[in-house]
Structures are given as C-alpha cells and as structure tokens.
Chains A and B, each alone.
Chain A
Amino acid sequence: MSTRFDVVVVGAGPGGMAAATVAAEAGCRVCLLDDNPALGGQIWRGFRPEMARKYTHGNLFIDCVARLQRTGCEVWQGWQAIDQPGAGFLRLERDGASLDVGFGKLILATGARERFLPFPGWTLPGVMGAGGLQALVKGGLDSTGKRVVLAGSGPLLLAVGAGLVVAGARVLGIYEQAPLDRLVSFGFSLIGQPGKAMEGVRYRLKTIRTSYRCGSWVVRAEGRGRVERVTVTDGRKEWSVDCDWLGCGFNLVPNLELPRLLGCRICEGFVEVDRLQESSVAGVACVGELTGIGGVEKALAEGQIAGLAAAGREAEALALGPQQMRLQQFAQRLERAFALRPELRTLATGETVVCRCEDVVRSALEGCGSWREAKLHTRCGMGACQGRVCGAATEFLFGWQTWGARPPIFPAAVSTLAAGAEDSEVVAR
C-alpha cells in the first residue's frame, strides 16, 4: 500500500521547507520528508525554536517553521528515500520499515555535503569534516577546552570556528587554502549584499582570538590511535600545531544521488534546471545546493519558485526570477573565490587511503583512467558510502567524472528491496 500526494518534497532544509510551504498554502496536498529527525537541514541543524533566536538566521528559522506548521503539509521525519520502484513514487525506509510514497510533482532539496580530500593521517579518529565537527558538537559532543584546528576551504570554516568558540573549545587556528587577494575581491563583491558581509564579520568577531590564515592548508595529521598534531603550510614553510581535533572540509558538493537516480541531467556538477526549477525530467524540480552552492537565501528563493510552479502558479514563480538570478550569481562568485589550489592534489602520498570504505590507497588508483575503471579494478567507491566521500575527492585529484546512481541509493534492508511495488507496508509514523 502506498500514500499519494500532489507534491512530495525531499529534504527539509530551507529550500525544501519553502517549497513545501508555498505549495501547501496554494492548496496542494504536500508531504515533506527528510532522513534527519528534525526540520532545518544542515544549515539549521540543532536549532530548537525556544533558543533559536540567539543563532544567526534564528528568527528566519522560527518564521519558516511557524509558516510551514500553519499549512496542512505532512512532515515525515527520519525517512530515507532509497529508490524509485516505478514512475511517480519513491520508496522510503526508516528503522528497517519501508513505505512507498506517490507524487504528482516531486521537488528535490537534498542539499550538500562537504568535500573531503585525502592527506596523510586524514583517517585518524579526531579528524573530521569542519561541518562534521560542528554537527557532532550540535549533537551533544562536549567540546569544552578541546584544542581544535580548522582547515580546508569555504565560508563554513569561519562559521564553524565561531560556533566552537561559543561552545567552549579552544580554536587554535583556521587555515583557508584560498589566497587573500581572492577573498578580498570576494569581500568587495558583497557590497550589494550587506547581510552576507555582516554575517562574515559577526563570525570573525567571535573568533577574534584565533588566527585566520588565507593561503595555507593542512599537509598531514599524526598521532597514535588518534590525531595529536597537525602540520600546515603556506607553500613556503611548514609548521605543526598540537590539537585534539582537526575539522577539515574543502567547500561543499551537492547530494546528487537522488536526482541522478531519477535521470535528471547534470551539468558541471549541478542539476540543470529551467526558470521554474524544473529538471530535464518532467515533474521533477531541484532547488538549493543541488543547482549551485549558494546558501540559505538562494535555497529559499528557489524553493518558493518550485513550490509555486508545482501548484500551477507560474506567474508568481517567474516574478521571483530576478532575485534568484542575483543569488545564483553569488553562488558563482563564491565558487570562484574558494576554488581549490592545485597543490592540494599532491597531499595524498601513494600509501594514503583515498577510499575509506574499502581502504584503497592512492597508488592503486594511479593506473586507472576513469571512475569506472577504478571501481572495477580496486573497489574504490564500492563500499558502504557508495562513493559519497571518495567520488568528490577523485574528481578533484584525477579529474574523473562520477556518474549514475543505482538503487538503493542508501544501504537498505533486504525486505525493503524485496517489497513489491504495491505491498510495502505502511507503518505507524
């Protein structure tokens, strides 16, 4: 048995919440589903309405939740979309139970993850993504007094640093690989968007005791059984910092598995969409980070466009076009400012693990000419994460194109896979 909605939205971050809200307000029967236990996606992770006002975007989060809850939109939390067993429905799984959900229109807002790049020691316990560390601290990890180094690239590093300082950690240094001159011109380009510039200033003020160095990057992490020391460089000299944790991520990459499974055309790493956010697959729209890494405002604008379009209110959707265009340009400036330097391709040595699931080292990959060849010969990308970590790394290291997505797009129970199209059980939600 399955349940059917006019509009199903996958991903309950800002883009998905906006899409679901406007579609439901326009009278559609809407279901918003997410694999996380709470609304907000990654950007608003851990925001609880009673304390959200103290966070950046806190008021926006509260307003978005309140507006969503005033609609009749059904919110299904903890459900993972794993397959499209037939046209017009998705198969979901939660705690080993499965359910098929049917849709007239589908809006994907599956967000982004960090790009991890391999360097010696990156598999040591205590080395995490920068956003990963933030998520764990928001999830209750006690960071009081912990010595933390942050490295990699992107505006997220500063936001994570600010959050960790507030949580009581000692942030010893933030190492941004992008050079100062590019970040200065990026800063000037924000003159038209004072809100974004102020957000950066506020994060910097919170981390004012921490050195923020542009044009520097991590070389290796060392320690017995866990990270104890990180070595960084500015390209001329190297120095080491003793620490308990290293948070290291190199910008964000979109979670393309579901759009790929559905056959949406991808262009230069992002889903190709029209002015109504519709992908190359009729009835499937994509919003937010899937179409370009641009943050909350872009996701909200695109979510509204897709939600209005799904409800047949195309004129209102198109009226948001100029705003969306400005935010898409911001995404492009962001990408240029934080473009990765070629030196990062040489951090992993021959013995450095690239695929963490299957322990495939770099030297095993050097002879491969493509992602397919690497999978066939080495099992790179064939483990539990299905290439979510090493795929983006090998794209950068070797220029390989990752492609396709096979069901299930997340590890799932055999009973979920075996369920017939009509007999997967509806479970108590």
Chain B
Amino acid sequence: MSEGLWVTVNGIKVRVNVGTSVAAAVMMAGEPCRFSVNGEARAPLCGMGICMECRAMVNGVAHRRTCMLACAAGMEVVTG
C-alpha cells in the first residue's frame, strides 16, 4: 500500500490503492451505494457499468456509476 490515497465515503476516510474504483472504496467503507424506491439498501451488482446499482454522488455530481470511476486523492463520495 505504498502508493495509497485517501477518499471519504459519507464522511468515513478510506485508504485505497491507486487505480481502485470508487465502487470498491464504497464497499470497503461498508456503506450501501443507494436506496431503492422502496427504501432497500443496494450495493454494486454487475461491476461493469450495466446495472446502475452503484450510482452515488461523487464530488457533488449525482448519479455517477462508481464502478466505472477511479478514486482520486481527496474525492468525496456521498451515497444514498
């Protein structure tokens, strides 16, 4: 983990390797990505940008597919 960087997920600081996807960082923070129309917690399913279950707000932009996005230092992710 020499090349690590920090991101925050719902205020939780997570240290990840360079190249880690935001979806992986959200999972490692133990947070769900979104809540369904009936309020169920949902987390990544397909891992390849198809299912939309991993979408979350990244640096203020809503509905990013986090599995298609690499972590950058200081990135702020808000789920739900």
By a beta-carbon cutoff of 8 Å, the part of chain A in contact with chain B is 35-37, 42, 45, 96, 113-114, 116, 123, 125-129, 131-137, 139-142, 225-226, 255, 353, 356-359, 383-385, 388-389, 411
Query: Are A140 and B67 interface neighbours, CB within 8 A?
Result: no
Query: Are B50 and A385 interface neighbours, CB within 8 A?
Result: yes
The residue among A129, A225, A255 with the most chain B CB atoms within 10 A of its own CB is A129
Query: Which of B17, B32, B45, B48 interacts with A116 by CB under 8 Å?
Result: B45
Chain B 4-48, CB-CB to A under 8 Å as 1, else 0, gives 000000000000110111011101100010001110111111111
Q: How far is the CA of A140 from the CA of B51 in the complex (A)?
A: 19
Using A125-B42, A136-B44, A411-B63 as known contacts, say yes or no to A359 and B37 having CB atoms under 8 A apart.
yes
Query: Which of B25, B36, B44, B68 interacts with A140 by CB under 8 Å?
Result: B25
28 contacts between A and B (CB under 8 A): A36-B49, A36-B68, A37-B68, A113-B46, A123-B36, A128-B44, A128-B47, A129-B46, A131-B46, A131-B48, A132-B48, A134-B47, A136-B21, A139-B19, A139-B21, A139-B23, A140-B16, A140-B24, A140-B25, A141-B20, A141-B24, A141-B28, A142-B24, A356-B42, A356-B53, A357-B52, A359-B37, A359-B40
Residues of B contacting A36 with CB < 8 Å? 49, 68
Residues of A contacting B61 with CB < 8 Å? 96
Residues of A contacting B67 with CB < 8 Å? 135-136, 139
User: Nearest-CB distance from B6 to chain A (Å)?
Assistant: 14
12 additional contacts, CB 8 Å, given A131-B48, A141-B23, A388-B51?
A37-B68, A113-B50, A123-B36, A132-B44, A132-B45, A132-B51, A136-B24, A139-B24, A140-B71, A359-B36, A385-B50, A388-B50
Least CB separation from B17: chain A residue: A140
Using A136-B23, A140-B19, A140-B20 as known contacts, say yes or no to A123 and B46 having CB atoms under 8 A apart.
no
Q: How far is the CA of A255 from the CA of B51 in the complex (A)?
A: 12
Query: Are A35 and B47 interface neighbours, CB within 8 A?
Result: no
**B interface size (C-beta, 8 A):** 35
Residues of A contacting B46 with CB < 8 Å? 113-114, 116, 128-129, 131-132, 135, 389
Q: How far is the CA of A388 from the CA of B36 in the complex (A)?
A: 17
Query: Are A356 and B51 interface neighbours, CB within 8 A?
Result: yes
Least CB separation from A116: chain B residue: B45
The residue among A35, A45, A141 with the most chain B CB atoms within 10 A of its own CB is A141
Least CB separation from A42: chain B residue: B48
Residues of A contacting B21 with CB < 8 Å? 136, 139-141
Q: How far is the CA of A123 from the CA of B61 in the complex (A)?
A: 25
Least CB separation from B66: chain A residue: A139
* CB of B73 within 8 Å of the partner chain: no
Q: How far is the CA of A144 from the CA of B33 in the complex (A)?
A: 22
Query: Are A389 and B24 interface neighbours, CB within 8 A?
Result: no
Using A37-B70, A128-B45 as known contacts, say yes or no to A389 and B51 having CB atoms under 8 A apart.
yes
